[in-house]
Amino acid sequence: MFKDIIQKLYETQNITDDEIKLLIDLPESEAAPLREAALKRRREYYGNDVFIRGLIEFSNYCKNNCYYCGIRAGNTQVERYHLTKDQILQCCDTGYTLGFRTFVLQGGEDLSYSDDDICDIVSSIKKAYPDCAVTLSIGEKSKETYQAYFDAGATRYLLRHETATPDHYAHLHPESMSLENRKQCLWNLKSIGFQVGAGFMVGSPGQTLDCLVADLRFLQELSPDMIGIGPFIPHAQTPFAHEPQGSLLRTLNLLSILRLMFPYVLLPSTTALGTIDPIGRELGLEAGANVVMPNLSPVDVRKFYALYDNKICMGDEAAQCIRCLGMRVKCVGFRIVEDIGNVRRSV
């Protein structure tokens, strides 16, 4: 029965809600055909290429208080930092030498950077590295602000929707935040012309199978270029400190489902996956992922950007990181490419 559902998903990129639920909870003993179908699809679109994104965590200040996040405003125990433009450019310089052609500027919703500051940072990176893409991942902004970022040269934006179910959204976020606004931001980004990334945590507190189905249906509506998913991992200084972490198997099943539902999509094998299992990122690639995001942030600030506990690669210099990842990627039959790594919507 599972094989028929997988074949239907492979051929039509769609299955019913009940069939999705069956595949999400596919036992490991039955998962091989799902992995094989996802791999076949990923090879049709991306061969054995794995794109690398240089992640620069440039600020851990945030005005928000998401209940799952280690750098939420309410966490008074975290040491806060933000990088200067020169420090960010230094990270890009290191990354460029190592073969990175995409830089992802990620941070909390830090009010100390004005829109002009962000635009200046983006345009300075584009000026210094015109053959590179700049991705922003700095949260919810007005449409005008997004437009200004785009005009300054940022062409990609990551904003996980986290959950497409309103009650679940309210369980994960304070009242000041709304799913409606989060979705509107994603639509605004799309209409401006950004390559957009959405996504969610697997196993976040209160998440049901129905929530996950709603997430996939929302993604079908949005048709993003990138989809970031990773297991929920609790952080000790959050209200969810004692919640169980998300399951490796469920995350891998969802990666394979996403690859089959969105054959073209840029799908990272996340650091969170590598945190819950020593070979989690390799398993993610084997499940259909085609992107890895090594950290280019200065080593001395990395420990302060802990969205969850026990995050890996905190002490590795960027060069060590990319060497290690290169070997891991090679071990499972793929290769890291020096490429801007645009989405391939068709084969």
**Interaction of residue 201 with ligand SF4, rule CB under 6 A:** no
Q: Measured from the CB atom, is 71 or 212 closer to ligand SF4?
A: 71
Q: Measured from the CB atom, is 50 or 56 closer to ligand SF4?
A: 56
Q: Measured from the CB atom, is 72 or 259 closer to ligand SF4?
A: 72
- Of positions 36, 109, 277, 309, contacts ligand SF4 by CB under 6 A: 109
Residue 306's φ and ψ, nearest 5 degrees, are -105, 95
**Interaction of residue 69 with ligand SF4, rule CB under 6 A:** yes
Q: Measured from the CB atom, is 103 or 305 closer to ligand SF4?
A: 305
Which of 45-53, 59-67, 198-206, 329-337 is the region at the interface with ligand SF4 (rule: CB under 6 A)?
Answer: 59-67
Residue 122's φ and ψ, nearest 5 degrees, are -60, -50
C-alpha–C-alpha distance, residues 135 and 338, integer Å: 17
Q: Measured from the CB atom, is 108 or 280 closer to ligand SF4?
A: 108
User: By rule CB under 6 A, what string of x and - marks binding of each residue 318-347 to ligand SF4?
Assistant: ------------------------------
**Interaction of residue 230 with ligand SF4, rule CB under 6 A:** no
- Of positions 20, 50, 66, 233, contacts ligand SF4 by CB under 6 A: 66
The alpha carbon dihedral of 61, 66, 69, 75 has a sign of positive
Q: Which of the 8 DSSP states describes residue 79? A: P
**Interaction of residue 71 with ligand SF4, rule CB under 6 A:** yes
Which of 64-72, 80-88, 149-157, 338-346 is the region at the interface with ligand SF4 (rule: CB under 6 A)?
Answer: 64-72
Task: Round to the nearest angstrom and report the end-to-end CA distance of the chain.
Answer: 29
Task: Tell me how many residues contact ligand SF4 (CB under 6 A).
Answer: 9
Q: Give 196's strand partners.
A: 157
**Interaction of residue 152 with ligand SF4, rule CB under 6 A:** no
Touching ligand SF4, residues 72-91 (CB under 6 A):
72
C-alpha–C-alpha distance, residues 274 and 252, integer Å: 12
SS3 for 122-158 is: HHHHHHHCCCCEEEEECCCCCHHHHHHHHHHCEEEEE
Could you tell me if 44 and 68 are in contact, meaning their C-beta atoms sit under 8 angstroms apart? no
| Amino acid type, 91 | C
C-alpha–C-alpha distance, residues 278 and 6, integer Å: 28
Q: Measured from the CB atom, is 71 or 322 closer to ligand SF4?
A: 71
Instruction: Give the contacts of 186 (CB within 8 A, at least 6 positions apart).
Output: 159, 161, 196, 198, 222, 224
- Of positions 95, 108, 234, 268, contacts ligand SF4 by CB under 6 A: 108
3-class state of residue 347 by DSSP:
coil
Q: Minimum distance between the CB of residue 73 and ligand SF4, rounded to whole angstroms?
A: 7
Touching ligand SF4, residues 127-146 (CB under 6 A):
139
User: By rule CB under 6 A, what string of x and - marks binding of each residue 237-276 to ligand SF4?
Assistant: ----------------------------------------
SS3 for 247-288 is: CHHHHHHHHHHHHHHCCCCECECCHHHHHHCCCHHHHHHHCC
Instruction: Give the contacts of 271 (CB within 8 A, at least 6 positions apart).
Output: 230, 281, 293, 295, 311, 312, 313
Which of 68-76, 118-126, 211-219, 285-293 is the region at the interface with ligand SF4 (rule: CB under 6 A)?
Answer: 68-76
List of residues contacting ligand SF4 (CB under 6 A): 62, 64, 66, 69, 71-72, 108-109, 139
